[in-house]
Structure 1
Amino acid sequence: MGLKIGKIRLLGPMSVIGFVFALLAFVGDQGFKLMMLGLYDMASWPYRRIEVLPFFDIVLAWNKGVSYGLFQQHTDFGRYMLVALSVITALGLWLWMATFSRPLPAAGVGLIIGGALSNALDRILHGAVADFFWLHWGALSWYVFNLADVAIVVGVVMILYDSFFAEDDSRREKT
């Protein structure tokens, strides 16, 4: 049944799964950032680059915007508006997740929530999001991203997969 306040459901049958995946995304991303910025102090390196493979480097890039560096914010007001947007979005996603009856979309939404909140914490602590992973091949270069971004993309893919391939609960009940 779940926990409700009035007509708003706060917890549903899949909320624990969503919470676990949100926690994994958040802790994984923040743990990697703590290692690179704290333990290895990558921000003080002159070139801020570790060549891993011919097409993959670990670099340090600060993103004051959102995906692909869009909507760059150079004021505290703009930065905290992005934080507020992330938190409001995470709360909305949580309420949506509380209505789920299947684990796959709950896990996907959990990954999105964890990634969004981890990037929001970066904006609070550092004034920008720390990105590290750079895919490139010759002159082709993909943007720099982090584990939170990976969690968000994987979460969206999980939700889309479920929406296209999961058996509809209403059809299952009628047969």
Structure 2
Amino acid sequence: MPTDRSIRLAFVLAGLIVAADMATKAAIVALLEFGAEHAWLPVLNIVHVLNRGAAFSFLHDAGGWQRAFFIAIAAVASVFLIVMIRRPDTTAAQRIGFGLILGGALANMIDRILRGAVVDWIDVHWGPHHWPAFNVADIGITIGAALLVFHELAGTRKASAVNG
């Protein structure tokens, strides 16, 4: 069983993402009426919206079956991520990426279980053009995925230079 400190770090990061996400969502629910929108910066609004779908509101209007579907996907993905974090041949950078994704997946899964949908509250826009609203869990997933992609690309370049 691996005892690498990066395993603990990955799980701590996952826990921090869950805690930060749940705290910010609780604050939004407590302080803003559903549907409210408050300009905070010229390119950033704080909003209170519910996403019953997945990324970019995919399947948000599917009739309700998608809640159980997305909970199941998050549960299976979380088990997979835990296995990947604990694998002895997983690098520290990969573990950190997996931990960030795990935290985001768990936080959004908890939201679906408790609320039936995910609370999104960050609205980035440029004039009338808005990016779909998101939350801290989504940030964790995005940064974790970007870290994994960067790690793979950097590894591919190193392998090409060695074999080249």
TM-score (norm 1): 0.81
Letter in 1 for 2:73: L
Q: Which of residues 7, 12, 15 in structure 2 aligns to 1:20?
A: 12
Residue 164 (structure 1) shift: 2.1
Matched, 1:150 2:139: yes
Counterpart-to-counterpart distance in 2, 1:89 and 1:111: 13
Matched, 1:35 2:27: yes
Unaligned runs of 5+ in 1: 3-11, 171-175
Residue equivalent to 1:74: 63
Matched, 1:131 2:117: no
Matched, 1:117 2:109: no
Q: Tell me which moved more, 124-133 or 93-102.
A: 93-102
Matched, 1:55 2:43: yes
Residue 78 (structure 1) shift: 2.8
Q: Deviations over 1:83-133 (max 9, x none)?
A: 111011111111112124432211111010110110011111111000001
Displaced runs of 4 or more, over 6 A: none
Give the SS at the match of 2:97. Answer: helix
Residue 167 (structure 1) shift: 8.9
Give the SS at the match of 1:145. Answer: coil
Give the SS at the match of 2:133. Answer: strand
Counterpart-to-counterpart distance in 1, 2:146 and 2:70: 23
Letter in 2 for 1:165: A
Whether the 8 Å CA contact 1:64–1:74 is kept in 2: the answer is no
Q: Report the aligned-residue RMSD.
A: 2.2
- Residue identity (%): 28
Counterpart-to-counterpart distance in 2, 1:131 and 1:120: 13
How many pairs align? 156
Residue equivalent to 2:162: none
Letter in 2 for 1:25: I
Q: Tell me which moved more, 13-22 or 108-117.
A: 13-22
TM-score (norm 2): 0.86
Unaligned runs of 5+ in 2: 160-164
Whether the 8 Å CA contact 2:94–2:151 is kept in 1: the answer is yes
Counterpart-to-counterpart distance in 2, 1:43 and 1:85: 30
